[in-house]
């Protein structure tokens, strides 16, 4: 869709179902956070995986005491997204009843600044929730969202005014795929890069970030559930897309793309032969290396990008197969939760030189809780957790709602602190950290308290 003047856009496309408005709702109950430590390093969190697109945070002076104090919380609808934060704006994307909802709130108080709603008819064919999977992206004074049906929007961050929109299903014939549209877009310079995954191509499309006009299209593989990741390779900008959606036979793999023109340096096929499989773990880039991984008996692979932008395979392994979490690279080693299902998941440390598993742990503990007035016990663990590297250690969110501080190194695994935030399954959303505040998304009802899905802001300031 070409650029549409504001008055025409409102009349023809975004009313009455799509209506941006100033919010008049009251803010949630707020417990003021502690002041930041004078020496603390902080940052915004403008997109999925954080400011460096690798789930590694540079924030410092964080408290290890768990549970952390609650600052504010809000009820949320369906979805698996994480918030994006820039300055005094927190943008959250979820679904309430039959509408996908974009909300802009103040990060420290939860005060609603504006919201925007539009109808969604998406239904998950495997019985998971029907909300959006793709997280908001903030770049400058704009915010971008992409819904479960492939509806792509650009808003003014300050006012919520609609700037442009695209319908990927209509424009490119994109099918629903296994779990709907899930890859988070990426902003590089003046381009919004999206793993569109249209049948027979294009796989990747770059839109003008200001107007929504198409700039280039590239590749033929389908859409994955991993998000494009930027990098500087041999002094040049590149975008790595781990693609591959529903197809017969299954196809997909890693694309190295020049964001200036969409030219593909190389395409490395890497996909399970199982029809009902997904590529969902984001590429991990360090030095001139790219690590990719997938479950469904696929494993992991480390590639080296050569100076002429061809590639060579450094190693492959069947011992480190991440389902949907993204591995963390630190000081020559990769850390992540291997395993397709809860019962076979484990946390592993892998030598990045040759792919050797240095150690593997499946942390478990006994939880005592009240259920119907009776004391019960259960052996629980992190299962397929998510890792965030920060302040010389790691924060881990287990998929059953446990939050932990971990000390991970080639020497082994050590738990520093742990708490049970909620007895809620599907805790698959990576926590967000910005200015000493931690944002954790609960995607299902708490089985012990009955509390519904919510977004919580915690104080981690030391």
pLDDT truncated to tens, each residue of the chain (462 aa)? 333 333 233 333 443 334 444 444 456 888 999 999 999 999 999 999 999 999 999 999 999 999 999 999 999 999 999 999 999 999 999 999 999 999 999 999 999 999 999 999 999 999 899 999 999 999 999 999 999 999 999 999 999 999 999 999 999 999 888 889 999 999 999 999 999 999 989 999 999 999 999 999 999 999 999 999 999 999 999 999 999 989 999 999 999 999 999 999 999 999 999 998 989 999 999 999 999 999 999 999 999 999 999 999 999 999 999 999 999 999 999 999 999 888 889 999 999 999 999 999 999 999 998 888 889 999 999 999 999 999 999 999 999 999 999 999 999 999 999 999 999 999 999 999 999 999 999 999 999 999 999 999 999 999
> Dihedral, CA atoms, 386, 391, 392, 396, nearest 10 degrees?
-20
Q: Which runs of consecutive H residues, i.e. helices, occur in 6-59? A: 6-12
For residue 25, the model assigns a pLDDT of: 47
61: closest CA among 32, 95, 82, 36? 36
Q: How far is CA 433 from CA 4, 58, 80, 438, in A?
A: 36, 10, 17, 5
CB 345 within 8 A of CB 324: no
> Using CB atoms within 10 A of its CB, is residue 10 exposed (0-12), middle (13-18) or buried (19+)?
middle
What is the distance between the alpha carbons of residues 289 and 72, in angstroms, rounded to a whole number?
A: 40
Please state the separation of Cα 74 from the chain's center in Å. Answer: 20
Please state the separation of Cα 86 from the chain's center in Å. Answer: 16
Structure tokens at 213: 């006009």
For residue 26, the model assigns a pLDDT of: 53
Query: Residue 377 CB: number of other CB atoms within 10 A?
Result: 9
The answer for residues whose C-beta is within 8 angstroms of residue 407's C-beta and 6 or more apart is 393, 394, 413, 414, 415, 416
Structure tokens at 323: 């389902």
For residue 176, the model assigns a pLDDT of: 86
Strands across the sheet containing 412-420 = 386-390, 393-397, 402-409, 412-420
Q: How far apart are the first and last CA of the chain?
A: 48
CB 352 within 8 A of CB 291: yes
For residue 3, the model assigns a pLDDT of: 36
Residue whose token pair is 């944002």 = 439
Q: What is the pLDDT of residues 339-352, one digit of tens each?
A: 988 888 999 999 99
For residue 342, the model assigns a pLDDT of: 85
């Amino acid at each position: 869709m070409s650029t549409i003047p504001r008055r025409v856009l409102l009349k023809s496309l975004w009313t009455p179902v799509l209506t941006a408005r100033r919010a008049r709702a009251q803010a949630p109950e707020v417990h003021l956070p502690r002041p930041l430590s004078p020496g603390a390093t902080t940052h915004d969190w403008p997109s999925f995986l954080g400011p460096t697109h690798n789930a590694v945070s540079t924030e410092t002076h964080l408290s290890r005491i768990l549970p952390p104090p609650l600052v504010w919380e809000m009820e949320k609808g369906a979805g698996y997204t994480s918030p994006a934060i820039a300055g005094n704006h927190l943008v959250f994307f979820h679904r309430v009843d039959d509408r996908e909802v974009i909300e802009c709130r103040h990060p420290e108080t939860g005060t609603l600044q504006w919201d925007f709603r539009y109808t969604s008819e998406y239904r998950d064919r495997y019985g998971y929730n029907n909300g959006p999977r793709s997280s908001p992206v903030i770049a400058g004074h704009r915010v971008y969202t992409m819904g479960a049906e492939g509806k792509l929007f650009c808003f003014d961050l300050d006012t919520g005014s609609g700037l442009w929109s695209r319908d990927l299903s209509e424009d490119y014939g994109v099918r629903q795929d296994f779990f709907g549209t899930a890859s988070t877009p990426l902003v590089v310079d003046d381009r919004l890069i999206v793993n569109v995954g249209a049948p027979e191509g294009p796989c990747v499309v770059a839109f003008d970030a200001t107007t929504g006009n198409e700039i280039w299209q590239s590749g033929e593989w389908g859409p994955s559930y991993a998000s494009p990741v930027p990098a500087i390779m041999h002094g040049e900008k590149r975008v790595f897309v781990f693609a591959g959606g529903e197809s017969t036979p299954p196809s997909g793999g890693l694309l190295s793309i020049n964001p200036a023109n969409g030219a593909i340096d190389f395409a490395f096929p890497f996909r399970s032969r199982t029809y009902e499989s997904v590529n969902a773990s984001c590429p991990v880039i360090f030095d001139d290396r790219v690590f990719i991984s997938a479950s469904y008996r696929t494993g992991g692979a480390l590639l080296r990008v050569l100076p002429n932008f061809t590639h060579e395979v450094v190693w492959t392994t069947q011992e480190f197969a991440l389902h949907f979490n993204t591995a963390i690279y630190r000081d020559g080693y990769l850390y992540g939760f291997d395993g397709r299902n809860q019962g076979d998941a484990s946390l592993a440390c892998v030598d990045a030189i040759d792919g050797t598993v240095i150690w593997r742990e499946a942390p478990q503990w006994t939880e005592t809780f009240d259920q119907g007035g009776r004391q019960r016990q259960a052996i629980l663990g992190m299962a397929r957790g998510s890792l965030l590297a920060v302040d010389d250690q790691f924060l881990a969110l287990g998929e059953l709602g446990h939050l932990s501080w971990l000390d991970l190194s080639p020497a082994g695994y050590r738990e520093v602190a742990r708490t049970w935030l909620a007895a809620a399954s599907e805790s698959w959303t990576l926590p967000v950290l910005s200015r000493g505040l931690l944002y954790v998304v609960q995607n299902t009802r708490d089985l012990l308290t009955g509390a519904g899905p919510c977004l919580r802001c915690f104080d981690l300031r030391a």
